Chains A and B, each alone.
Chain A
Amino acid sequence: MRRSVTLRGPSDILAGAAGKTGDGHGCVHWDFSPTRARPAPGMSRTPDIDPAAAKQAIIDYCLRKGAMVAGVADLAAIERIAPAGHRPTDLMPRVKSVIAVAVGGATAGAWRVPAKALGYFGSTESRAYKIVYGLAFFIEHKFGVPAIYCPPDMDPELGARYPLQSLKLHAELAGLGARSLAGDILLHPDYGYMYYASCFTELALPPDKPLAENPCPAPSCVAMFRRDGRTPCMKFCPAQCLSGEIGADGKQAAMHYDMAACAELTQQFETVPQLLRDAIATDNPEEREALLLGERNKVLWYRMTVGNGGLFAQCFECMRVCPIATNAPLADPLKRGAAQRAAASRKVQHGGADAA
C-alpha cells in the first residue's frame, strides 16, 4: 500500500517552528511505502515501520541531541554522483537511507577571536559525530534495523585529502546547505556555516530535497563583486585560493578553489610526518632538537597526547567575512533552542514519541 504523507524538509522543520513557514522554503511532498528492512543480528525488526514517523523520530532525536538541522539525502542521487569507491553502498551494501546531521553555531564574539583560538570554536564536528553515533544505536534499538555511523575520516588507501564518504554531498542532497563560492563550503540561509555527519541505515526513509535556493552569494557580496570583482571570501582568503564569477542574475556562475593552496595554510596533519622526516634527515643535532621539541612542534605532541584534539589554528577567514555564515538568523543558540522547543512541542501535539 502506498501512502502519501506530508513532511517538511529539514530547513522547514525548524524554520516553521521558528515561525518562518511560507518564507520560501515550501513544504515537500513525498511518496513512499512502509519499509521492510532486514533486522540486524540479535535484534527484532519493528513490524510495519511508518517511514514518515520514523523519519520524524530520527530528526527529533537529532535535534534533541544538539543538531541544528537534520535530513535524509536521496541515496540514488548520491550513488550517481559520488565516485566509485566512495558511494554509500561501498561502505554499507544494503544501505537504504543516508541521514545527514548538521551542527554549528558560533556566537558573534567567536568570529572576532584570533584564528588560533577560532579553531576551537570551529571544531564542533565532534558534536556531529557524537550525535550520529548515538543515532545509529537509536535506529537499531527503536526500529531493529542496522545502522552505522558514517566514518568521517579520510580514505586510508588514498592519503589525507580524500574522504571515505563525502559528508558534504550527503548534507547538500539532504537540503542542509548549498555550495558557496568559498571553496564549495556549504551554507544554509538560516543556520549559516555548519559541520556535518552522516548515519547510514538499512531503514528506508523518505528523502529530502536539496535547498531550493542557494544563499550564496548574499546580496552584499554581489554588490561587492560588481564593484571590485571579488567577494569578501575571495578578498580576505590568506591563501588567495578562491575566485569565481557571479552571473547577471546574481547567482554563482563559476567557482574556482585551489584546495592545495588552502591545505598548505590550513592543514596540519602533514606537519607531523614532515617534521619527523626532517628531524631524521638533518645532520645538525641543534636543528633536530628544534624540529622535535621547538615551541611550535612541541605543541603538536601536546595535542596528540594530553591535548583536547583542537587544531593549532584554523583559517576560517572566508567564513569570518561571509555574511551568511556570520549573520545566519538561527545560528544563535538561543534562537535555535526556541526552534527546537517548538519542534518538540509539535511532536507532543501530534502524539509522537520516541524511546531515546
Chain B
Amino acid sequence: MAAPTRRERLGVTPEMIEAFGPIIFDLSTNVQDRRGDPVRLLQFDEIERQRSGAGLSDPEIAARIGLAADQVTFIRVLLEQRRFKPARYYRLFQLGGGRRFRTERGMERDAYEEAQFGGDALAIRDALRFRPDHVRREIESGSWTADTVATYLRHWAGETPQAAAVAAPGHAPLSYGAALDRAERLAAALAALGVRRGDVVTVQLPSTPDFVVIYCAAARLGAVLSTLHMPYGPGEAEPLLRHSRARAVFCGAASDKSDAPAMFAALAERLPNLRHVISAGPERPGVHALEALIAGADRATVPPLPVAFDAALMCYTSGTSDAPKAVPHSYQSLLANPRQCLPVFAVKPGERIVSAAPLTHAFGLFVANVALMTGATFVPLPAFTPPALAAVLEQDRPTHAFVAPAHVAALLKAGLLDGRDVTSLRQVIVSGSYCAPELKRALEEKLGCGRVYELWGMTETFAVLLGDPREPARERHDWIGRATPGSAARITDLDGNPAPANTEGELQVRGCSVFGGYFDNAAANAGIFTDDGWLRTGDLAVMSETGHVRITGRIKDIINRGGVKLNPSDVEALIDQHEAVLQSAIVPMPDPILGERACCCVVLKPGQTLSLEMLCAWLERQGVAKFKWPERLVPIEAMPMTPTRKIIKGALIKMVG
C-alpha cells in the first residue's frame, strides 16, 4: 500500500481544494486591497477593519474559514503553483529600453514562440528536409537570407508606398502601401479565425490583385500558401485539400458558369481540417467575404512575423505523374532563386513585369516574387487570351514579360504582335514547357531590340537553368541556358555516371531553391535525390562544353524496346508537324517478347484520316530511323492534359496497356 501523500496526511481532499481554494486565494496576500492610508496614519481600527483586504496570514485565514493553518497553506501554495507559469516572465525581456507595455496594444510577445504552430504545421515543416551540407552551403554562400515575402513587402511599402505593386488588366492598381495594409489586415483576420502559423491556406483564384494580397497575407501570418488551378472542380480539389490539410480556402465569386463558394462549402463539410471558405464575392452562409474580412480586421493584432525557414508555399506539381505531389518550400528556398536571378533580369523599381503564367502555378509566383523583390509593378493576366496578352504588352509598356511557349505560339500564329509597338520590352523570358528555337527566334524578330531567352525549372526547383540576354541569339535560342547563380546542373547516364558533353542523359540539379522532399508522400520521395544530394529531375538533357543545357525528353517517356532505349520526344515533335495531326504522344505499350513497343496516340485534325502505314511511310520520308517508328497508332478525340497544358502520358499508357 502506497504511503499517503502530504495532501492525504493533511486530510485535504480534491473537493476541498476546489471549494476552499478561491476563498483562500482571495483572502491571502495574493490579492490586496487598501482604502486610504491607514498604516502611515497609524489608524489601528481601520487597519483591523481592512485586514482581510490587505491579505491575511494563513493562520488568520484558517481561523476565519474553519480549516487548519497547515491545510490553508497547502491549498494556497497549490493554487499559486497552478497559476504560476514559468515562461511568463520571459515576456519581460521585451520591455524596457524605450519599450513599454500598453494595454491598447497588448503585451509585446515572444516574437516567435507565442504565435505557435497550427496542428499540422510541424508535419509540413518536417518535409523541409534539407541536407545539412545543403543548408550550410546556401547560408555560407549568401543564397539563403533572413528575408521573407513579408519583409520585402514591408520594405517597398516603406520606400515607395504610392508605387503600383500590382496592375492587372480590368482591376484597379494596388500600391505597395495598400498591398501591405490589406495583407496585414487579412493576416489579422485569418489569425482571428484561428488560422495559425504553418496552417495551409489554399487559393483558387485568377491572377488578380486579390490573389497577391492573399499571398502576402499568408506570408505575413506565416501560413503556407497552396494553390488549386482554376479548372479544378470538386473531384480534383478534394484530394488536394485533404492531403494538404488546408485550413482555409479562397475562391472566386459565384458566376453563371460555376459556384465555387458553394463547391468549397460543400467540401468543407467533408473535410475536417477545412474550417473557412472565403470568397471574393459576397458573404453567404458558410462563406466569408474577403472584403468584409479585410475591412473588419485590426492591423494591430497581426501576429509576429514568420522567419525565413518557415514553410511558405506548398504547390502541387503540374507534372505528368498519375498522382500530384505536394512540394513545400521555405521562404529561403522560395526566394533565393529569384533573388539570385535578379542581375540577369535587371529589373528596376517601378518597371512593369507582365506574367502570362497563372499565380496558381509556381512560375507565376516566381514572377510575382521578382516584382516584389525589385519594387516593380507586377502585371498578371487574370485570364490568358492571346488578344489580352498582346494588348498588355503594348499598352502597359512592360520591360519584361514572362510567358509560356504556348502563349508565344498563340500570339504569333494569330499575328497579334504585327504592327504593335512592343519596344518597351527589354526581355521576354519563356518557360513552362519545351520551347522550340524557332519560336524564340520568331518572337525576337517581333520585339525590335528586346531579347528572348528561356528559363527552365520545376515546382521542386524554381529556375535552375536560365538563358542570358547578353549572350548571342544562337546560345539563347538553341539552348535553354546555364545553371542559375546559386544552382548547379549535371548530366548523368542512366546508371548515374557523369555523361560527356553533348551526350544525352538525365538532368540532375541542386541549389538554393531545390526543395527538400514531397510532403506526406514517401513513395515519391524514394530515390528523388542521389546519395550526394542532387535532385533527379527525370528529364533527359544534353549539356555543352560551355554548360548550356537543352532538354531532350523525359526519362519516364523512354521506351525500352528489347533493350534498345528510345526517346520519343523528337519523333513526337516531328509527327506534330504532319498535316493530318493536331497533337501526338508516343507511349510504351507492353509486349510479351520485347517488353515494350512504341504506341503513338494522335488527335487528328477535323476530317483527316491517318493509318500506321501512312505515318511510317511519312516518317521514312522524313529520314527517321526505323527503330523509332511507332508500331501502333491510336487515334483519340482529345489528349488528357494537366491544367498547365502538359500531356498526361500515364493516362495514355493505361489506355493502351
Contacts and interface: CB of A to CB of B under 8 A. Distances in A.
B31 interface: yes
A26 to B, nearest CB: 16
Given A184-B34, A260-B83, A271-B86, A238 B92 contact: yes
Contacts of B626: none
Contacts of A254: 33-36
Given A259-B31, A266-B89, A112 B57 contact: no
Contacts, number: 163
Interface in B8-59: 25, 28-37, 39-42, 44, 47, 55-59
Contacts of A252: 34, 36-37
Give the one of B28, B84, B94, B100 with max A CB within 10 A: B84
A267 B89 contact: yes
Give the one of A240, A315, A316 with max B CB within 10 A: A315
A178 B34 contact: no
Contact of B40 (A179, A268, A317): A179
Nearest to B58: A158
Give the one of B25, B77, B89, B97 with max A CB within 10 A: B89
Nearest to A271: B86
A270 interface: yes
Contacts of B101: 236-238, 317
Given A83-B60, A179-B37, A317-B95, A159 B89 contact: no
A161 interface: yes
A172 B96 contact: no
Nearest to A232: B100
Nearest to B31: A258
Contact of A178 (B40, B88, B92): B40
B262 to A, nearest CB: 44
B98 interface: yes
Interface string B348-392: 000000000000000000000000000000000000000000000
A260 B469 CA distance: 68
Given A84-B59, A236-B101, A320 B96 contact: yes
Nearest to B41: A210
Interface string A256-300: 111110011111101100110000000000000000000010000
Given A114-B97, A238-B101, A312 B89 contact: yes
B245 interface: no
A55 to B, nearest CB: 20
B131 interface: no
B25 A260 contact: yes
A116 B92 contact: yes
A86 interface: yes
Contact of A255 (B25, B33, B42, B44): B33
Interface string B60-100: 10000000000001001100110111111111111111111
B107 interface: yes
Interface residues of B, number: 50
A254 B40 CA distance: 14
B37 A263 contact: no
A33 B96 CA distance: 51
A118 to B, nearest CB: 6
B60 A256 contact: no
Nearest to A256: B33
A89 B97 CA distance: 44
Given A113-B96, A259-B32, A265 B88 contact: yes
Category for how many chain A residues contact B = 35 or more
A159 B90 contact: no
A223 interface: no
A6 to B, nearest CB: 21
A313 B89 contact: yes
A320 B99 CA distance: 11
B94 to A, nearest CB: 8
B581 to A, nearest CB: 61
Contact of A238 (B25, B42, B95): B95
Contact of B29 (A84, A161, A169, A296): A161
Interface string A222-246: 0000000000000111101000000
B48 to A, nearest CB: 9
Contacts of B44: 77, 80-81
A301 interface: no
Contacts of A302: none
Interface string B100-112: 1111000100000
A317 B88 contact: no
Given A85-B57, A85-B59, A114-B97, A211 B84 contact: no
A314 interface: yes
B40 A214 contact: yes
A236 B81 CA distance: 26
A114 B101 CA distance: 12
Contact of A159 (B32, B37, B77): B77
A252 B38 CA distance: 11
Contact of A172 (B29, B39, B84, B89): B39
A161 B95 contact: no
A245 B310 CA distance: 48
A83 B57 contact: yes
Given A83-B56, A114-B93, A162 B37 contact: no
A184 B32 contact: yes
Interface string B105-137: 001000000000000000000000000000000
A197 to B, nearest CB: 19
A169 B83 contact: no
A184 B50 CA distance: 14
Contacts of A268: 89
Nearest to B72: A158
A162 B93 CA distance: 27
A253 interface: yes
Contact of B39 (A113, A173, A256, A259): A173
Contacts of A184: 32, 34
B36 A253 contact: yes
A251 B96 contact: no
Contacts of A238: 91-92, 95, 101, 107
Interface of B: 25, 28-37, 39-42, 44, 47, 55-60, 73, 76-77, 80-81, 83-103, 107
5 contacts: A81-B47, A114-B96, A115-B94, A115-B96, A254-B33
User: Lowest 10 CB-CB distances: which A-B pairs, in order?
Assistant: A238-B101, A114-B96, A115-B96, A114-B97, A260-B30, A83-B57, A313-B92, A271-B86, A257-B32, A115-B95
Given A264-B84, A275-B86, 14 more contacts: A85-B59, A112-B96, A114-B97, A159-B73, A184-B32, A211-B40, A238-B101, A253-B36, A260-B83, A271-B89, A312-B89, A313-B89, A313-B90, A313-B93
Interface of A: 77, 80-81, 83-86, 112-118, 157-162, 169, 172-173, 178-179, 183-184, 210-211, 214, 235-238, 240, 251-260, 263-268, 270-271, 274-275, 296, 312-317, 320-321
